[in-house]
Amino acid sequence: LIVGRVVAGIGVGITSCAGPAYIAETAPAKVRGAMVGIYQNNVCLAIVAASVINHYDAEAKNGWRWSLGVQTILGGVTALGMWLLTETPRFLASKGKREEALQVLTRLRAGNEPAARRELELVVREIEEEQEAGNASWSEIITNPFFRNVVLIGCFTQFFQIITGINAMVSYGGTLFTSLGVHGLISSLIPNVAFLLGNTIGSFILVDRAGRRPLLVWGMLG
């Protein structure tokens, strides 16, 4: 179980970084925020589904084996599906494969080659600007105010998001509501469904309308 936990943790950690990055590099700009939000929304949906499965497996003989087995099946299907994905246009362009990048982007844009070509030109321009700027050294992350501020904002945003206790609520919310007299499946679903609804509203309805900063501010206040 410990080895499985470590392997699963490594896989989830890699996917948590690569998944949103892949979506961001392939989704159209006007819906990019919502598309990246779908990733986290699916995580929330999976947590709700896991709560239901675990509730009914809790009293079954060797039920815990079924709970662990389900994620193995879903993980295998997902891994097989990854082979059907193409590399992102941005990555291909950064490696000098612009024709291949154009083909992939055209396919992603429903065959609209003129629009794909214009979008690729913007991507190539961004890549060239990044290459001209060069790579920053590790010391510049501390000494250069621009890099330092970017790193601090990213780190503290994640830190304060976690320190609000949301992970504890997801993990132990069922126990909390049970101690308050709410029993059965409802005790497990209340915190997870609330998490799912909040993420759905934020990612689908507000992220491309209200902007990122207001959602961060109000999300932290909540």
∠ Cα 160 162 167 (to 5°): 155
Give, rounded to a whole angstrom, the gap between the first and last alpha carbons of the chain. 36
Question: Is the pTM here over 0.85, yes or no?
Answer: no
Q: What is the pLDDT along the chain (222 residues), one digit of tens a residue?
A: 888 888 888 888 888 888 889 998 998 888 888 888 888 888 888 888 888 888 888 777 887 888 888 888 888 888 888 888 889 999 999 998 999 999 999 999 988 999 999 999 999 998 888 777 667 777 878 888 888 888 898 888 888 878 877 777 777 777 787 788 877 777 777 777 877 787 777 777 777 777 778 877 777 776
3-state secondary structure of 28: coil
